[in-house]
Structure formats: structure tokens, C-alpha cells
């Protein structure tokens, strides 16, 4: 199963590298939204909960773009049939897609987080980098799992572009709560990470539950 997932993942990353459809769009969208926030909030710099909130909400909205595109190639170019015809474990498709989304999100964050620091974060507020990376990674795992599931659910729908955000955003509220609350003290001058353990536990629990659920039900989305 892992080998099959690796083959599918490799194919997806190759296509993304060639077509550059998902990640650049997500990155561009994120930076644009930061600019919007600058004008909308009429602030030169943010700190504390405002900074944390803007960062995470923007990332989640950008994730919607990635999630919508995730199964697009399969759907449009018959890739799903090709996979279903092969003598493989079908769960590999979920693993591969979730892994691909994880990679896209990390790539996005490599651009978006520094951009955020430069554009919106007040000076000298960026101390807790290791903690931030940990929060980002944990959140990305959950986002990847839920995103892959939602993408597959919406793939057969006529109104895919509408369904994905409506479905994804409520489902990631717990993730937003955990991530934003954990990040908030990091963006405060002289702030110490409080309650970090509690929020990381929330993120970890969320990741685990949704990974398990997605693994359990995904096959039913592929069967006919």
C-alpha cells in the first residue's frame, strides 16, 4: 500500500511541478489577503491574538484552493479509473492525496509565514520559531487529512467549488481554535508560550481522530 501511495504521490507532485496550478495560486492568494487586511484593519502591524487570527484564517482560506484542486486532475482526466483498474489497495489514494496536500501546505507556509512576518507582524515579535513550526506541522497534518476527505466528497458534485469551502471551513474550526490559541502568545512582545501543551494536544487529538475516520470511510467514496 505504501508503495502504491508513493507512486501516486510522485505522480501528483510531478504534475504539480509541471503545471504549477495549486501552490502558486495559494501563495498569491495569501499575500493578497494580507494586503487586504492591512487596508481593512488600517493597521501597519499586528500582534497577539489579532496577528494569530489573521495568519491562521488566511492560511485556512488558502487551503480551500488546494483542497478544491486536489482531485481535479483525477476527475477531469480519468485518473481515478486508472487507479481503480490497478490491483492496488485503494486506501493508498487517500494516503497519497493527503500527503500531497501536506506538501502543498508546507510549501505554501514557507512563503506565507515569512511574508506575514514582513508585511504584518510588528518588529521583534518573532521569537518562538520552533514552537510555530511545530504548530504549523501539526495543523497541516489535520488539514491534509480533512482536506483530502472533503476533496473526495466534493469531487463528484456539480457544485464542487462551492461545496469545498462550505464543507471544509466548519470542519477545521477545532483546528483553528487550537492553532490560533497556541500561536497567539508567540506573537506578543515578551510573551511566553502558555498552555501550549493543551492546544498541541487538541491539535494532535483532532489529527488522530480525522485520520482514522478518513481511512475508514474513504474506500466507500471510490467504490461504485
Q: Which residues bind another protein (CB under 8 A)?
A: 3-4, 7-8, 10-11, 14-15, 18-19, 73, 77-79, 81-88, 149, 153-154, 156-159, 162-163, 166-167, 170-171, 173-174, 177-178, 181, 195, 198-199, 202, 205-206, 209-210, 213-214, 217, 220-221, 223-224
Tell me which H or E stretch contains 41. helix 23-41
Residue 144 cell numbers, joined: 491534509
Residue with smaller CB distance to another protein, 39 or 159: 159
Task: Give the shortest CB-95-to-another protein separation in angstroms.
Answer: 14
CA distance 105 to 143: 9
**Under 8 Å between Cβ of 122 and 47:** yes
Residue with smaller CB distance to another protein, 125 or 180: 180
Task: Give the shortest CB-44-to-another protein separation in angstroms.
Answer: 26
Task: Give the shortest CB-217-to-another protein separation in angstroms.
Answer: 5
Residue with smaller CB distance to another protein, 47 or 115: 47
Residue with smaller CB distance to another protein, 87 or 123: 87
**Collapsed DSSP state (helix, strand, coil) of residue 125:** coil
CA distance 205 to 78: 35
The label of the residue with cell 501550549 reads 196
**Collapsed DSSP state (helix, strand, coil) of residue 218:** helix
- Please, which residues bridge with residue 121 across strands? 46
Closest CA to 210 of 145, 157, 161, 140: 145
Residue with smaller CB distance to another protein, 73 or 119: 73
Task: Give the shortest CB-39-to-another protein separation in angstroms.
Answer: 26
Largest CA distance in the chain: 57
The alpha carbon torsion through 121, 125, 131, 137 (nearest 10 deg) reads 10
Residue with smaller CB distance to another protein, 63 or 153: 153
Residue 217 cell numbers, joined: 470511510
Task: Give the shortest CB-31-to-another protein separation in angstroms.
Answer: 25
Task: Give the shortest CB-203-to-another protein separation in angstroms.
Answer: 10
Amino acid at each position: 500500500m505504501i508503495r502504491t501511495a508513493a507512486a501516486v504521490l510522485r505522480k501528483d507532485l510531478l504534475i504539480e511541478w509541471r503545471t504549477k496550478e495549486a501552490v502558486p495560486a495559494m501563495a498569491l492568494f495569501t499575500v493578497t489577503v494580507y494586503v487586504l487586511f492591512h487596508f481593512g484593519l488600517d493597521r501597519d502591524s499586528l500582534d497577539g491574538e489579532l496577528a494569530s487570527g489573521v495568519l491562521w484564517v488566511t492560511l485556512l482560506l488558502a487551503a480551500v484552493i488546494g483542497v478544491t484542486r486536489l482531485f481535479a486532475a483525477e476527475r477531469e482526466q480519468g485518473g481515478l479509473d486508472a487507479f481503480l483498474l490497478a490491483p492496488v489497495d485503494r486506501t493508498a489514494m487517500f494516503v497519497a492525496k493527503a500527503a500531497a496536500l501536506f506538501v502543498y501546505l508546507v510549501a505554501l507556509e514557507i512563503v506565507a509565514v515569512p511574508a506575514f512576518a514582513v508585511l504584518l507582524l510588528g518588529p521583534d515579535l518573532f521569537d518562538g520559531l520552533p514552537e510555530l513550526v511545530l504548530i504549523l506541522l501539526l495543523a497541516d497534518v489535520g488539514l491534509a487529512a480533512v482536506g483530502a476527505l472533503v476533496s473526495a466528497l466534493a469531487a463528484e458534485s456539480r457544485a464542487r467549488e462551492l461545496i469545498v469551502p462550505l464543507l471544509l471551513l466548519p470542519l477545521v474550526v477545532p483546528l483553528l481554535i487550537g492553532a490560533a490559541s497556541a500561536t497567539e502568545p508567540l506573537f506578543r512582545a515578551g510573551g511566553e508560550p502558555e498552555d501550549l501543551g493543551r492546544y498541541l494536544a487538541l491539535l494532535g487529538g483532532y489529527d488522530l481522530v480525522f485520520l482514522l475516520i478518513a481511512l475508514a470511510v474513504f474506500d466507500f467514496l471510490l467504490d461504485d
